[in-house]
Chain A
Amino acid sequence: MTQPKIEVDQLNLYYGPTRALKDVTISFPPTMVTAIVGPSGCGKSSFLRTLDRMNDLLPNSRVTGHVLLDGEEIYESMDVALLRKRVGMVFQKPNPFPRSIYDNIAFGPRIHGMKKESQVREVVERSLRQAALWDEVKDMLTKSAYNLSGGQQQRLCIARALAVEPEVLLMDEPASALDPIATARIEELVSELKERYTIIIVTHNLQQAARVSERVGFFLHGECVESGPTKDLFTAPKDKRTEDYLTGRFG
């Protein structure tokens, strides 16, 4: 097997005295979609946030164990700004900046030192095309991002994440606030993006996980109970707890 893009080994996360993640071990192969599933409160979103060190911002949070990006520890010497450039995040609710569509996308590249406006313009167009949004917004780039529909705003956020050329894309329930048509567009987009990016998507929608992912990790009570190819895990899971969750004989 090729080297994993991200390898997580014996990862623990504490919020004060609460242990939110327990000895999580899972690896993510490059240019594949891995879905993280599990019931509410199982730690899946917390886990996603450890992968770009978003939990660092919370007081009293503490992490032990290893997270390796291309074999390099992200919790040691790696610069956090650089990490977050390499590992982008898309959230559950679309969160565009209160600025123009153009500036939303241009924000990241400019922060990372891109000065020439012609270059920035190129990045904006490329990112919006990759996020399958360009044709819908190309004539209204100076309008506020708030003019867009929810589904469009979410694709804008994906375009914004892509603008800094990340290697990994983390998506935290990216379609849960969207209607079925907008959801289908996001799922289609995920399939296109996996050609170039390693994607980790948290979802509580098992059918969505079945549709978009090649691999699945099942989380329960802060543990990664089981991970493997989606078709194996969804037809013949190895762990009784996975079985009970998937068949709804649970809780």
Chain B
Amino acid sequence: MRQEFHDELDALQQEILRMGTIVVQRLSEAVRSLAQGDLDLAQQIVEGDDEVDRMQADIDTRSLALIATQQPLASDLRMLGTAIKVGVDLERMSDHATDIAKVVLRLDAEPLMKPLVDIPRMAEIDQRMIQECLKSFVNRDASQARDTMKLDDEVDHLYGQVLRELLTFMIEDPKKVHQAAHLILVSQYLERVGDHATNLGEGIVFMVTGERVDLNR
């Protein structure tokens, strides 16, 4: 019964996965463009944001249309509510990839004061969180979503570490303030991505179980 409707839900889910995959890739490339001072790549990332915006609008429109025409209830309704929310969080994460790329353009291939260590680690954990959340979304696995959200503590921890380190650089040598301040921005963007990934997890737990959880404290 309602086969057509459930096919549409599946198609919507595919679209969310596609969007998530693109966002993961954009974050990875943003941090790579920073590490390598690759201005061309940074420029591509800035330009690629429009596609993600369009995907978010599409997910939003399709979800609302299904609510209007199918009047879903129970888990179907929760799935559509979550789809809208996941679309918004993924779009925000994509914006942060753009923010990082803009920092790269502003630094204009200036050599980094030291090789990046913690910032790529933050980005890796962010990407892992998004990927695991998308898996738990497809598998309707609330416990996997909960486990994934715990990774955000690690991102927060690294953020504190980056901040302290860069503040020390700035105090020691005022010439490093310009670059250090920009790297602090990058680490803050990555910290926010972790919070958005946690939102994904919360949405998925609600979608699967109907329970509200708040793991961003």
Contact = CB atoms under 8 A, between A and B. Distances in A.
B72 interface: yes
A250 B74 contact: no
B210 A251 contact: no
B77 interface: yes
Interface residues of B, number: 15
A37 to B, nearest CB: 10
Contacts of B78: 235-236
Interface stretch (A91-99, A142-150, A241-249): A241-249
B77 to A, nearest CB: 6
Nearest to A243: B74
Contacts of B74: 234-237, 242-243, 246-247
The range of chain A's interface size is: 10 to 19
Nearest to A249: B1
Given A235-B210, A236-B210, A243 B2 contact: no
A234 B77 contact: yes
B71 interface: yes
Nearest to A207: B71
Given A235-B210, A236-B210, A247 B71 contact: no
Interface in A214-248: 234-237, 242-243, 246-248
Interface in B67-86: 71-78
A228 to B, nearest CB: 12
A234 B2 contact: no
Contacts of B75: 243, 247
A82 to B, nearest CB: 39
Interface of B: 1-2, 5-6, 71-78, 209-211
Interface of A: 206-207, 210, 234-237, 242-243, 246-251
The 3 closest A-B pairs by CB, nearest first: A236-B210, A248-B2, A246-B73
6 contacts: A234-B73, A236-B209, A243-B75, A247-B2, A247-B74, A248-B5
